[in-house]
């Protein structure tokens, strides 16, 4: 992985972030800004470390007084997981090289750095979305009317812009297919043991298909026209800026079929009642907006088959998260998402579809 620019020491902990460091990091945008005081308003560590900063700048500077930082987690096990998946460096590079040119709302990137040698070394300095007046309905457990429709608009705009783009042969060549890690099957196996008794037959059927035919299933999930996808667009990674739905947490950004994001969101983050009522209409809305955004929409029948197939991705992500327990999310959150995604793969007959596509 190539080194970022500009060259500046990469903070590994809050102790490495000083007023002088901030002044240097923000100098490209605000060359006359000098940080006088720095306060860590809020800091916590989970899958990655997060910190909100409050800065007092020199008189006359218009540099932002509220900033958001992402850095390696403090927990050793979480650090190893980030290193194994390369999530931290991938997201840092995304903010340095891609975010500024996206056609959708994302956190404004201010500075990113990462080590070419050590996947545990990275740092991102971003816009503080809360200070910018953005809203996070999922944090309050609220399902906003019209949110799913606007999410389809956001995804269609993103996917259409990068549809089969030549940039993937050049400056975006580093953006790879979705991760295939051995930890996925291990955690699905663990989920079978821990939660199997309480889950329906389709849960067991899809788990066994995935475990017995991992590479073949992943090949199916990767098939179809590819574009730039978020890769982890559950509701917790969305925000509202006015009537626009934005996307944050780009650690799983990848090159994949656009329907992967659509299915991931609808099967993981939309209530079962709303999904059952609206999913066909929402898929049609996505397709209607994909063409004007630059994509080549398939027929609804083809898209619906993709949607049913790619519900597998949402189910895998939710089930892995539940099996990992508090290592990734609270167990309660993980279980709720797993149960929701399991209802989706049952409604969509996803195990039967995969079995037919895999053949005897």
The domain that contains 182 carries what CATH number? Answer: 3.90.1200.10
Return the minimum-mean-pLDDT range out of 58-62, 76-80, 221-225. 76-80
pLDDT band per the 50, 70, 90 thresholds, residue 1: low
Contact 314, 231 (CB under 8 A): no
Does residue 47 register a pLDDT over 70?
Answer: yes
**114 and 249 together in one domain:** no
Cα separations in angstroms, 272 against 120, 195, 239, 267: 38, 20, 21, 8
In this structure, the answer to whether residues 330 and 189 fall within a common structural domain is yes
Where is the domain boundary, 127, 157, 174?
A: 127
Which is nearest to 10 in space by CA: 89, 96, 88, 114?
114
CA–CA gap between residue 161 and residue 293 (Å, rounded): 6
Q: Is the pLDDT assigned to residue 6 strictly greater than 60? A: no
Q: For position 277, what pLDDT does the model report?
A: 96
Q: Among residues 127, 162, 192, which one ends one of the domains? A: 127
**Structural domain ending residue among the three candidates 103, 127, 151:** 127
User: Is pLDDT above 70 for 4?
Assistant: no
Q: Is residue 190 part of a domain?
A: yes
Are the C-beta atoms of 52 and 128 separated by less than 8 Å?
yes
Angle at the Cα of 90 (from 227 to 174), degrees rounded to 5?
A: 55
Rounded to the nearest angstrom, the gap between the alpha carbon of residue 254 and the centroid of all alpha carbons in its chain is 9
Please indicate, yes or no, whether residues 303 and 352 belong to a single structural domain of this protein: yes
| The pLDDT value given to residue 213 | 95
d(CA 325, CA 328): 6
Judge whether 267 and 344 are in contact, CB under 8 Å: yes
Q: Is the pTM of this model over 0.85?
A: yes
Bridge partners (DSSP) of residue 127 are: 67
Confidence of residue 87 (pLDDT cuts 50, 70, 90): very high
Question: In this structure, how many other beta carbons lie within 10 angstroms of the beta carbon of residue 113?
Answer: 23
Are 122 and 173 in the same domain?
no
Q: Classify residue 329: in a domain, yes or no.
A: yes
| Beta-carbon count within 10 A of 141 CB | 7
Has residue 144 got a pLDDT over 60? yes
In a domain, residue 289? The reply is yes
The pLDDT value given to residue 3: 53
41 inside domain? yes
Question: Would 9 be classed as within a structural domain?
Answer: no
Same domain, 101 and 158: no
What pLDDT digit, counting tens, does each position of 253-271 carry?
999 999 999 999 999 999 9
DSSP 18: -
As a whole number, the mean pLDDT across the chain is 92
Output phi, psi for 241, to 5 deg: -120, 95
- Whole domain around residue 47: which residue ranges? 14-127
DSSP for 171-238, written as a single string: TTTT--SPP--THHHHHHHHHHHHHGGGS-HHHHHHHHHHHHSHHHHHHHHH-S-EEEE-S---GGGE
On whether both 263 and 305 belong to a single domain, the answer is yes
Residue 35: inside a domain: yes
Give 295-350 pLDDT, tens digit per residue.
Answer: 999 999 999 999 999 999 999 999 998 988 765 566 777 788 999 999 999 999 99
Residue tagged 């429709």 (tokens): 149
Q: Which of 112, 124, 48 is nearest to 83 (CA)?
A: 48
Residue 52 and residue 78 share a domain: yes
Tokens of 309: 């197939």
Residues 260 and 341 in one domain: yes
CATH number at 72 reads 3.30.200
Q: What is the pLDDT of residue 140?
A: 73
Tally Cβ neighbours within 10 Å of residue 313. Answer: 24
Is residue 62 located within the same domain as residue 187?
A: no
Per the domain annotation, does 1 fall within a domain? no
Question: Do 302 and 182 reside in the same domain of the chain?
Answer: yes
- How many domains is the chain built from? 2
pLDDT for res 160: 98
Long-range contacts of 215-223 (CB under 8 A, 24+ apart): 215/180, 216/358, 217/312, 217/354, 217/358, 218/178, 218/180, 220/309, 220/354, 220/357, 220/358, 221/178, 221/260, 221/309, 221/310, 221/312, 221/313, 222/177, 222/178, 222/256, 222/257, 223/257
Asked if 78 and 187 sit in the same domain, the reply is no
Give the closest residue to 10 by CA, choosing from 142, 104, 133, 112: 112
pLDDT band at 5 (very low <50, low <70, confident <90, very high): very low
Residue 2 lies in a domain: no
- How confident is the model at residue 84, as a pLDDT? 86
Judge if 144 and 277 occupy the same domain: yes
The Cα 186–Cα 99 span in angstroms is 33
Residue-wise pLDDT tens digits, 177-214 = 998 877 789 999 999 999 999 999 999 999 999 999 99
- Which of 63, 38, 82 lies closest to 252, judged by CA? 82
Reference 7, options 24, 23, 19, 29; nearest CA is 24
């Amino acid at each position: 992985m190539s080194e970022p620019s500009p060259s500046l020491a990469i903070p590994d902990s809050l102790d490495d972030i000083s007023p002088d460091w901030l002044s240097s990091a923000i100098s490209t945008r605000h060359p006359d800004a000098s940080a006088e005081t720095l306060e860590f308003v809020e800091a916590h560590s989970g899958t990655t470390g997060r910190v909100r900063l409050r800065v007092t700048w020199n008189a006359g500077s218009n540099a932002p007084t509220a900033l958001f930082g992402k850095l390696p987690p403090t927990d050793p096990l979480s650090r190893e997981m980030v290193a194994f998946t390369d999530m931290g460096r991938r997201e840092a590079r995304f903010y340095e090289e891609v975010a500024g040119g996206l056609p959708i709302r994302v956190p404004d990137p201010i500075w990113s750095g990462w080590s070419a040698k050590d996947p545990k070394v990275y740092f991102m300095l971003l816009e503080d979305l809360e200070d910018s007046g953005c809203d996070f309905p999922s944090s309050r457990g609220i399902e906003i009317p019209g949110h799913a429709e606007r999410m389809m608009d956001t995804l269609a705009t993103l996917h259409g812009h990068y549809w089969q783009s030549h940039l993937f042969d050049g400056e975006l060549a580093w953006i790879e297919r979705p991760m295939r890690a051995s930890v996925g099957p291990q955690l699905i196996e663990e989920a079978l043991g821990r939660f199997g008794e309480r889950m329906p037959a389709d849960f067991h059927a899809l788990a066994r298909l995935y475990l017995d035919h991992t590479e073949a299933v992943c090949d199916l999930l990767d098939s179809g026209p590819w574009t730039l996808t978020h890769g982890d667009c559950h509701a917790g990674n969305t925000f509202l800026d006015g009537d626009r739905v934005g996307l944050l947490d780009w650690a799983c950004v990848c090159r994949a079929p656009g329907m992967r994001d659509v299915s991931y969101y609808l099967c993981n983050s939309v209530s079962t009642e709303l999904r059952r009522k609206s999913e066909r209409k929402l898929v049609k809305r996505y397709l209607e907006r994909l063409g004007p955004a630059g994509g080549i929409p398939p027929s609804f029948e083809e898209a619906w088959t993709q949607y049913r197939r790619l519900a597998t991705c949402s189910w895998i992500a939710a089930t892995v998260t539940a099996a990992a327990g508090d290592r990734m999310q609270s167990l309660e959150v993980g279980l709720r998402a797993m149960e929701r995604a399991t209802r989706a793969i049952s409604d969509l007959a996803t195990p039967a579809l995969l079995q037919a596509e895999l053949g005897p």
